[in-house]
Amino acid sequence: MTDPAEPKPSAGVVDRSSASVVDEFAHIRRRRARHPAITIGGALLAFFLIFYSWRDVRYALSSSAPVDLGSASALFSAGRGAAAAAEMVNRYVRVAGVPDRESALELDTKGSWVFSQLFRVLGTGDRLFVHRLGDPLPAALAEADVFEGRLIRIDELPYADAIRAYFARHVTATHYFSADAAAKALAGRAPGQATSLSIVDRGGDRVTLGADETLAIDVVKPEEIQLGLPRARFATEDAARAAIESRGGEVITARGLVQPPPLPSAGAANLLASAAAPPARWTFVVRFPAARRQVALDELGDIDRAVEIRDARETVAAHIADLGADAGGAAGGPTLVVRAPGTPERRLAVGDVATVHTIAPVVIPDGALMVIEGDRPRDHVASVVIALVLFIFGVFNIVALVRNR
Protein backbone atom coordinates (compact mmCIF):
# COMPACT_ATOMS: atom_id res chain seq x y z
CA MET A 1 0.00 0.00 0.00
CA THR A 2 0.99 3.63 -0.56
CA ASP A 3 1.06 5.91 2.41
CA PRO A 4 -0.85 9.10 1.52
CA ALA A 5 1.18 11.07 4.01
CA GLU A 6 4.44 10.27 2.32
CA PRO A 7 5.72 13.35 0.42
CA LYS A 8 6.17 13.19 -3.34
CA PRO A 9 9.57 13.83 -4.87
CA SER A 10 10.01 17.48 -6.05
CA ALA A 11 10.74 18.52 -9.60
CA GLY A 12 14.28 17.95 -10.75
CA VAL A 13 14.90 15.45 -7.95
CA VAL A 14 15.94 11.95 -8.81
CA ASP A 15 13.31 9.39 -8.01
CA ARG A 16 15.42 6.56 -6.65
CA SER A 17 12.67 4.06 -7.33
CA SER A 18 12.59 4.88 -11.07
CA ALA A 19 16.10 6.39 -11.42
CA SER A 20 14.79 9.23 -13.76
CA VAL A 21 14.64 13.09 -13.69
CA VAL A 22 11.20 14.78 -13.80
CA ASP A 23 11.15 18.30 -15.49
CA GLU A 24 7.71 19.88 -15.32
CA PHE A 25 8.77 22.94 -17.53
CA ALA A 26 10.03 20.84 -20.40
CA HIS A 27 6.88 21.47 -22.47
CA ILE A 28 7.17 25.33 -22.33
CA ARG A 29 8.73 26.92 -25.43
CA ARG A 30 11.72 29.15 -25.00
CA ARG A 31 11.08 32.86 -25.84
CA ARG A 32 12.48 33.89 -29.22
CA ALA A 33 15.33 36.35 -29.08
CA ARG A 34 14.65 39.93 -30.33
CA HIS A 35 15.88 40.59 -33.83
CA PRO A 36 19.21 42.47 -33.81
CA ALA A 37 17.86 45.09 -36.22
CA ILE A 38 15.26 46.18 -33.64
CA THR A 39 17.94 46.52 -30.99
CA ILE A 40 20.22 48.55 -33.25
CA GLY A 41 17.31 50.74 -34.40
CA GLY A 42 16.32 51.54 -30.81
CA ALA A 43 19.87 52.50 -29.90
CA LEU A 44 20.30 54.67 -33.02
CA LEU A 45 16.99 56.42 -32.38
CA ALA A 46 17.99 57.21 -28.81
CA PHE A 47 21.34 58.65 -29.87
CA PHE A 48 19.72 60.63 -32.70
CA LEU A 49 17.31 62.27 -30.28
CA ILE A 50 20.23 63.17 -28.01
CA PHE A 51 22.06 64.72 -30.97
CA TYR A 52 18.93 66.60 -32.06
CA SER A 53 18.46 68.15 -28.61
CA TRP A 54 22.16 68.70 -27.92
CA ARG A 55 21.86 72.51 -28.24
CA ASP A 56 19.21 72.58 -25.52
CA VAL A 57 21.35 70.32 -23.33
CA ARG A 58 24.40 72.55 -23.76
CA TYR A 59 22.32 75.63 -23.01
CA ALA A 60 20.89 74.05 -19.87
CA LEU A 61 24.42 73.28 -18.64
CA SER A 62 25.76 76.80 -19.44
CA SER A 63 26.13 79.64 -16.96
CA SER A 64 22.98 81.36 -15.73
CA ALA A 65 24.85 84.69 -15.42
CA PRO A 66 24.15 86.76 -18.57
CA VAL A 67 27.05 87.74 -20.84
CA ASP A 68 26.87 91.53 -21.23
CA LEU A 69 27.22 92.44 -24.94
CA GLY A 70 26.72 96.17 -24.35
CA SER A 71 25.04 98.38 -26.92
CA ALA A 72 23.64 96.55 -29.93
CA SER A 73 24.28 99.41 -32.36
CA ALA A 74 27.91 99.77 -31.25
CA LEU A 75 28.39 96.01 -31.34
CA PHE A 76 27.16 95.53 -34.90
CA SER A 77 28.73 98.69 -36.28
CA ALA A 78 32.20 97.46 -35.29
CA GLY A 79 33.86 95.05 -37.69
CA ARG A 80 34.75 92.55 -35.00
CA GLY A 81 31.62 93.11 -32.91
CA ALA A 82 29.25 91.08 -35.07
CA ALA A 83 31.67 88.14 -35.04
CA ALA A 84 31.96 88.39 -31.26
CA ALA A 85 28.18 88.32 -30.94
CA ALA A 86 28.01 85.24 -33.18
CA GLU A 87 30.45 83.49 -30.84
CA MET A 88 27.95 83.98 -28.00
CA VAL A 89 25.26 81.96 -29.79
CA ASN A 90 23.38 79.57 -27.50
CA ARG A 91 24.39 81.57 -24.43
CA TYR A 92 22.41 83.62 -21.95
CA VAL A 93 23.20 87.24 -22.89
CA ARG A 94 22.25 90.82 -22.08
CA VAL A 95 22.12 93.48 -24.81
CA ALA A 96 20.84 97.07 -24.90
CA GLY A 97 19.21 98.64 -27.93
CA VAL A 98 16.32 100.68 -29.28
CA PRO A 99 13.48 98.48 -30.55
CA ASP A 100 11.74 99.30 -33.81
CA ARG A 101 8.19 99.44 -32.54
CA GLU A 102 6.83 100.61 -35.90
CA SER A 103 7.52 97.30 -37.65
CA ALA A 104 7.04 95.04 -34.61
CA LEU A 105 4.82 91.97 -34.89
CA GLU A 106 2.50 90.53 -32.28
CA LEU A 107 2.43 86.75 -32.43
CA ASP A 108 -0.28 84.54 -30.96
CA THR A 109 -0.30 80.81 -30.43
CA LYS A 110 -3.18 79.01 -32.11
CA GLY A 111 -5.76 77.85 -29.60
CA SER A 112 -4.45 79.93 -26.69
CA TRP A 113 -4.42 83.51 -25.44
CA VAL A 114 -0.64 83.70 -25.25
CA PHE A 115 0.86 86.64 -27.13
CA SER A 116 4.48 87.54 -27.83
CA GLN A 117 6.32 90.29 -29.69
CA LEU A 118 8.90 90.08 -32.45
CA PHE A 119 10.83 93.19 -33.47
CA ARG A 120 14.19 94.27 -34.83
CA VAL A 121 16.73 96.37 -32.93
CA LEU A 122 17.66 99.66 -34.61
CA GLY A 123 21.23 100.33 -35.59
CA THR A 124 22.12 96.68 -36.26
CA GLY A 125 21.45 96.51 -39.99
CA ASP A 126 18.49 94.14 -39.42
CA ARG A 127 20.94 91.59 -37.96
CA LEU A 128 19.50 91.47 -34.43
CA PHE A 129 15.90 90.68 -33.52
CA VAL A 130 14.18 90.15 -30.18
CA HIS A 131 11.42 87.66 -29.45
CA ARG A 132 9.76 89.02 -26.32
CA LEU A 133 7.81 86.28 -24.55
CA GLY A 134 6.54 88.25 -21.56
CA ASP A 135 2.74 88.46 -21.49
CA PRO A 136 1.80 90.74 -19.84
CA LEU A 137 5.08 92.60 -20.01
CA PRO A 138 6.16 94.43 -16.81
CA ALA A 139 6.33 98.20 -17.28
CA ALA A 140 9.89 98.42 -15.94
CA LEU A 141 11.08 95.87 -18.49
CA ALA A 142 9.30 97.59 -21.36
CA GLU A 143 10.88 100.97 -20.54
CA ALA A 144 14.45 99.73 -20.01
CA ASP A 145 15.23 98.71 -23.62
CA VAL A 146 17.62 96.08 -22.24
CA PHE A 147 17.01 92.48 -23.31
CA GLU A 148 18.16 89.34 -21.51
CA GLY A 149 17.68 85.90 -23.00
CA ARG A 150 19.03 83.14 -25.18
CA LEU A 151 20.95 84.21 -28.28
CA ILE A 152 20.31 82.01 -31.32
CA ARG A 153 20.71 82.15 -35.08
CA ILE A 154 17.50 82.74 -37.00
CA ASP A 155 18.69 80.24 -39.61
CA GLU A 156 18.49 77.51 -36.95
CA LEU A 157 14.77 78.04 -36.43
CA PRO A 158 12.55 75.50 -38.21
CA TYR A 159 10.33 78.35 -39.43
CA ALA A 160 13.17 80.69 -40.53
CA ASP A 161 12.05 80.72 -44.19
CA ALA A 162 8.49 81.58 -43.19
CA ILE A 163 9.68 84.51 -41.05
CA ARG A 164 11.86 85.87 -43.85
CA ALA A 165 9.09 85.61 -46.42
CA TYR A 166 6.52 87.28 -44.17
CA PHE A 167 8.80 90.21 -43.27
CA ALA A 168 9.83 90.78 -46.89
CA ARG A 169 6.22 90.80 -48.15
CA HIS A 170 4.19 92.37 -45.35
CA VAL A 171 6.45 94.29 -42.91
CA THR A 172 7.76 97.76 -43.78
CA ALA A 173 9.69 100.36 -41.82
CA THR A 174 10.14 104.10 -42.28
CA HIS A 175 13.78 105.11 -42.72
CA TYR A 176 14.91 108.69 -42.16
CA PHE A 177 18.14 109.98 -43.70
CA SER A 178 20.06 113.17 -43.17
CA ALA A 179 20.32 115.50 -46.15
CA ASP A 180 24.13 115.21 -46.13
CA ALA A 181 23.98 111.39 -46.19
CA ALA A 182 21.54 111.50 -49.10
CA ALA A 183 23.76 113.93 -51.02
CA LYS A 184 26.85 111.74 -50.50
CA ALA A 185 25.02 108.60 -51.57
CA LEU A 186 23.64 110.31 -54.68
CA ALA A 187 26.90 112.04 -55.60
CA GLY A 188 28.44 110.88 -58.84
CA ARG A 189 25.26 109.43 -60.29
CA ALA A 190 23.26 111.24 -62.92
CA PRO A 191 19.47 111.38 -62.66
CA GLY A 192 17.92 108.67 -64.76
CA GLN A 193 20.52 106.08 -63.81
CA ALA A 194 18.54 102.88 -63.13
CA THR A 195 20.67 101.43 -60.34
CA SER A 196 19.97 100.75 -56.69
CA LEU A 197 21.05 103.12 -53.95
CA SER A 198 22.76 102.11 -50.68
CA ILE A 199 22.41 104.63 -47.85
CA VAL A 200 22.73 104.64 -44.04
CA ASP A 201 19.72 106.01 -42.15
CA ARG A 202 19.76 108.05 -38.94
CA GLY A 203 19.46 104.86 -36.87
CA GLY A 204 22.67 103.46 -38.33
CA ASP A 205 21.03 100.83 -40.55
CA ARG A 206 22.19 100.51 -44.14
CA VAL A 207 19.23 100.44 -46.52
CA THR A 208 19.35 99.37 -50.16
CA LEU A 209 16.69 101.00 -52.33
CA GLY A 210 15.75 99.96 -55.83
CA ALA A 211 15.70 102.38 -58.74
CA ASP A 212 11.89 102.39 -58.81
CA GLU A 213 11.44 103.10 -55.09
CA THR A 214 10.29 106.53 -53.94
CA LEU A 215 12.27 108.92 -51.76
CA ALA A 216 10.43 111.80 -50.05
CA ILE A 217 12.36 115.04 -49.47
CA ASP A 218 10.96 117.53 -46.94
CA VAL A 219 12.03 121.05 -47.90
CA VAL A 220 11.78 123.81 -45.31
CA LYS A 221 10.91 127.32 -46.47
CA PRO A 222 12.42 129.62 -43.82
CA GLU A 223 10.59 132.77 -44.93
CA GLU A 224 7.17 131.14 -44.88
CA ILE A 225 4.87 129.99 -42.07
CA GLN A 226 1.92 127.62 -42.14
CA LEU A 227 -0.98 129.08 -40.18
CA GLY A 228 -4.17 127.33 -39.16
CA LEU A 229 -7.00 129.51 -37.79
CA PRO A 230 -9.93 127.61 -36.18
CA ARG A 231 -13.29 127.72 -37.89
CA ALA A 232 -14.90 128.13 -34.48
CA ARG A 233 -13.41 131.64 -34.35
CA PHE A 234 -13.51 132.50 -38.06
CA ALA A 235 -16.69 131.43 -39.80
CA THR A 236 -15.37 131.98 -43.34
CA GLU A 237 -12.04 131.76 -45.12
CA ASP A 238 -12.24 135.47 -45.98
CA ALA A 239 -12.49 136.36 -42.28
CA ALA A 240 -9.40 134.27 -41.50
CA ARG A 241 -7.50 135.82 -44.42
CA ALA A 242 -8.42 139.32 -43.25
CA ALA A 243 -7.03 138.57 -39.77
CA ILE A 244 -3.68 137.63 -41.31
CA GLU A 245 -3.46 140.49 -43.79
CA SER A 246 -4.40 143.05 -41.13
CA ARG A 247 -1.20 142.09 -39.30
CA GLY A 248 1.02 142.53 -42.35
CA GLY A 249 0.93 138.93 -43.59
CA GLU A 250 1.00 137.99 -47.26
CA VAL A 251 -0.95 134.82 -48.11
CA ILE A 252 1.09 132.70 -50.51
CA THR A 253 -1.19 129.64 -50.64
CA ALA A 254 -4.66 129.00 -49.27
CA ARG A 255 -5.22 125.32 -48.48
CA GLY A 256 -8.84 125.69 -47.41
CA LEU A 257 -10.46 124.03 -44.43
CA VAL A 258 -8.28 121.25 -43.01
CA GLN A 259 -9.77 118.74 -40.58
CA PRO A 260 -7.13 116.47 -38.93
CA PRO A 261 -8.12 112.83 -38.57
CA PRO A 262 -9.44 111.80 -35.15
CA LEU A 263 -7.14 110.04 -32.71
CA PRO A 264 -7.09 106.23 -33.14
CA SER A 265 -8.74 105.63 -29.78
CA ALA A 266 -12.20 104.29 -30.70
CA GLY A 267 -13.19 101.70 -28.12
CA ALA A 268 -9.99 102.18 -26.11
CA ALA A 269 -10.43 102.15 -22.35
CA ASN A 270 -8.13 105.11 -21.70
CA LEU A 271 -8.17 108.89 -21.47
CA LEU A 272 -7.97 109.29 -25.26
CA ALA A 273 -11.33 107.55 -25.70
CA SER A 274 -13.16 110.65 -24.44
CA ALA A 275 -10.88 113.21 -26.12
CA ALA A 276 -12.54 115.82 -28.32
CA ALA A 277 -12.05 115.68 -32.07
CA PRO A 278 -9.30 117.96 -33.45
CA PRO A 279 -10.65 121.34 -34.59
CA ALA A 280 -11.08 122.25 -38.24
CA ARG A 281 -8.79 125.11 -39.32
CA TRP A 282 -8.51 127.51 -42.25
CA THR A 283 -4.96 126.78 -43.35
CA PHE A 284 -2.66 129.21 -45.18
CA VAL A 285 0.99 129.48 -46.14
CA VAL A 286 1.97 133.05 -45.18
CA ARG A 287 5.00 135.32 -45.45
CA PHE A 288 5.59 138.20 -43.00
CA PRO A 289 8.10 141.05 -43.18
CA ALA A 290 11.14 140.24 -41.07
CA ALA A 291 10.61 143.21 -38.73
CA ARG A 292 6.94 142.37 -38.17
CA ARG A 293 7.12 138.57 -38.17
CA GLN A 294 7.39 137.71 -34.46
CA VAL A 295 4.92 140.36 -33.31
CA ALA A 296 2.32 139.23 -35.84
CA LEU A 297 2.71 135.58 -34.82
CA ASP A 298 2.29 136.47 -31.15
CA GLU A 299 -0.89 138.41 -31.89
CA LEU A 300 -2.36 135.58 -33.97
CA GLY A 301 -1.44 132.99 -31.34
CA ASP A 302 -3.24 135.00 -28.65
CA ILE A 303 -6.52 134.91 -30.58
CA ASP A 304 -7.33 131.31 -29.64
CA ARG A 305 -5.51 128.36 -28.14
CA ALA A 306 -6.48 126.30 -31.21
CA VAL A 307 -4.41 128.48 -33.58
CA GLU A 308 -1.75 126.32 -35.24
CA ILE A 309 1.64 127.81 -36.16
CA ARG A 310 4.28 125.64 -37.79
CA ASP A 311 7.08 125.76 -40.33
CA ALA A 312 6.01 125.67 -43.93
CA ARG A 313 7.32 122.55 -45.63
CA GLU A 314 7.05 121.09 -49.07
CA THR A 315 7.43 117.38 -49.70
CA VAL A 316 9.08 116.47 -52.99
CA ALA A 317 8.65 112.80 -53.91
CA ALA A 318 10.79 111.23 -56.61
CA HIS A 319 12.05 107.82 -57.68
CA ILE A 320 15.64 106.89 -56.91
CA ALA A 321 16.37 106.78 -60.65
CA ASP A 322 15.31 110.43 -60.98
CA LEU A 323 17.60 111.76 -58.22
CA GLY A 324 21.15 113.02 -58.28
CA ALA A 325 23.43 115.33 -56.33
CA ASP A 326 25.71 118.22 -57.19
CA ALA A 327 28.62 119.34 -55.02
CA GLY A 328 28.13 122.96 -56.02
CA GLY A 329 25.09 125.15 -56.26
CA ALA A 330 23.80 128.69 -56.34
CA ALA A 331 25.00 129.25 -52.77
CA GLY A 332 28.13 127.19 -53.21
CA GLY A 333 26.80 124.24 -51.19
CA PRO A 334 25.67 120.75 -52.19
CA THR A 335 22.29 120.36 -53.80
CA LEU A 336 19.93 117.51 -54.56
CA VAL A 337 18.84 117.34 -58.17
CA VAL A 338 15.36 116.10 -59.11
CA ARG A 339 14.93 115.44 -62.81
CA ALA A 340 11.68 113.52 -63.29
CA PRO A 341 10.44 112.82 -66.82
CA GLY A 342 8.05 115.47 -68.09
CA THR A 343 8.83 117.99 -65.33
CA PRO A 344 11.42 120.77 -65.11
CA GLU A 345 14.59 120.10 -63.20
CA ARG A 346 14.63 121.15 -59.54
CA ARG A 347 17.65 121.88 -57.38
CA LEU A 348 17.18 121.65 -53.63
CA ALA A 349 19.86 123.10 -51.38
CA VAL A 350 20.90 120.63 -48.70
CA GLY A 351 20.64 123.38 -46.09
CA ASP A 352 16.91 123.76 -46.84
CA VAL A 353 16.18 120.03 -46.57
CA ALA A 354 14.82 119.03 -43.16
CA THR A 355 14.88 115.29 -43.72
CA VAL A 356 14.71 112.60 -46.35
CA HIS A 357 12.62 109.51 -45.72
CA THR A 358 11.22 106.42 -47.38
CA ILE A 359 9.35 103.23 -46.56
CA ALA A 360 11.20 100.00 -47.29
CA PRO A 361 10.47 96.33 -46.53
CA VAL A 362 12.31 94.67 -43.65
CA VAL A 363 14.67 92.04 -45.08
CA ILE A 364 16.27 89.56 -42.68
CA PRO A 365 19.82 88.88 -43.92
CA ASP A 366 21.70 85.60 -43.62
CA GLY A 367 23.42 85.20 -40.28
CA ALA A 368 20.90 87.35 -38.40
CA LEU A 369 20.60 86.69 -34.67
CA MET A 370 17.67 86.64 -32.28
CA VAL A 371 17.42 87.07 -28.51
CA ILE A 372 14.63 84.99 -26.99
CA GLU A 373 13.92 87.17 -23.99
CA GLY A 374 13.26 85.38 -20.70
CA ASP A 375 14.56 82.02 -21.95
CA ARG A 376 16.96 80.97 -19.16
CA PRO A 377 19.24 77.90 -18.91
CA ARG A 378 17.27 76.50 -15.97
CA ASP A 379 14.18 76.33 -18.17
CA HIS A 380 15.83 73.48 -20.11
CA VAL A 381 16.76 71.18 -17.20
CA ALA A 382 14.19 68.68 -18.49
CA SER A 383 16.23 68.34 -21.68
CA VAL A 384 19.20 67.11 -19.63
CA VAL A 385 17.07 64.51 -17.84
CA ILE A 386 15.53 63.27 -21.09
CA ALA A 387 18.95 63.07 -22.75
CA LEU A 388 20.29 61.03 -19.81
CA VAL A 389 17.37 58.59 -20.01
CA LEU A 390 17.86 58.21 -23.77
CA PHE A 391 21.58 57.61 -23.29
CA ILE A 392 20.92 54.84 -20.75
CA PHE A 393 18.35 53.30 -23.08
CA GLY A 394 20.79 53.34 -26.01
CA VAL A 395 23.63 51.82 -23.98
CA PHE A 396 21.31 49.12 -22.62
CA ASN A 397 20.34 48.13 -26.15
CA ILE A 398 23.97 47.89 -27.24
CA VAL A 399 24.91 45.75 -24.21
CA ALA A 400 21.95 43.46 -24.82
CA LEU A 401 22.96 43.06 -28.46
CA VAL A 402 26.51 42.10 -27.50
CA ARG A 403 25.33 39.56 -24.94
CA ASN A 404 22.93 37.93 -27.37
CA ARG A 405 25.65 37.64 -30.00
Q: Is the pLDDT of residue 196 over 50?
A: yes
Higher pLDDT, 83 or 147: 147
pLDDT of 275 reads: 62
Q: What is the C-alpha to C-alpha distance for residues 376 and 354, in angstroms, rounded to an integer?
A: 45
**Which pLDDT belongs to residue 1?**
47
Q: pLDDT by residue (tens digit) across 111-126?
A: 677 788 899 998 888 8
Average pLDDT over residues 264-277: 55
Average pLDDT, the chain: 83
End-to-end CA distance of the chain: 55
What are the pLDDT digits (tens) for 27-66? 666 666 667 788 888 889 999 999 988 999 999 999 999 9
8 A C-beta contact, residue 123 and residue 72: yes
Residue 26 has pLDDT above 80, yes or no: no
pLDDT band at residue 129 under the 50/70/90 scheme: very high
Q: What is the pLDDT of residue 36?
A: 79
Choice between 192 and 166, residue whose per-residue pLDDT is larger: 166
pLDDT at 267 over 50: no
pLDDT band at 244 (very low <50, low <70, confident <90, very high): very high
Tell whether the model's pLDDT for residue 235 goes beyond 70: yes
- Average of per-residue pLDDT across 378-393: 92
The confidence score (pLDDT) of residue 39 equals 83
- Residue 141: alpha-carbon gap to chain centroid: 17
Instruction: Specify the range with the lowest mean pLDDT, choosing from 329-333, 344-348, 370-374.
Output: 329-333
C-alpha 216/C-alpha 336 separation (Å) is 12
Residue type, 84: A
Q: Tens digits of per-residue pLDDT, 278-334?
A: 889 999 999 999 999 999 999 999 999 999 999 888 888 888 888 888 876 555 678
Helix (H) / strand (E) containing 83: helix 81-87
- Say yes or no to pLDDT of 24 above 80: no
The residue that leads in pLDDT, 76 or 380, is 380
E strand spans, 178-249:
197-200, 206-209, 214-230
* CA–CA distance, 36 with 324 (Å, rounded to integer): 75
Statement: residue 266 has pLDDT above 60: no
Across 182-202, average pLDDT? 79
pLDDT digits over 158-170, tens only?
Answer: 888 988 999 888 8
* Proportion of the chain above pLDDT 70, given as a percent: 83
Amino acid at 104: A
Residue 32, pLDDT score: 63
Count of positions (residues) in the chain = 405
- Contact status, residue 401 vs residue 39, Cβ threshold 8 Å: yes
User: d(Cα 86, Cα 151) in Å, to the nearest integer?
Assistant: 9
Query: Mean of the pLDDT values across residues 381-388?
Result: 92
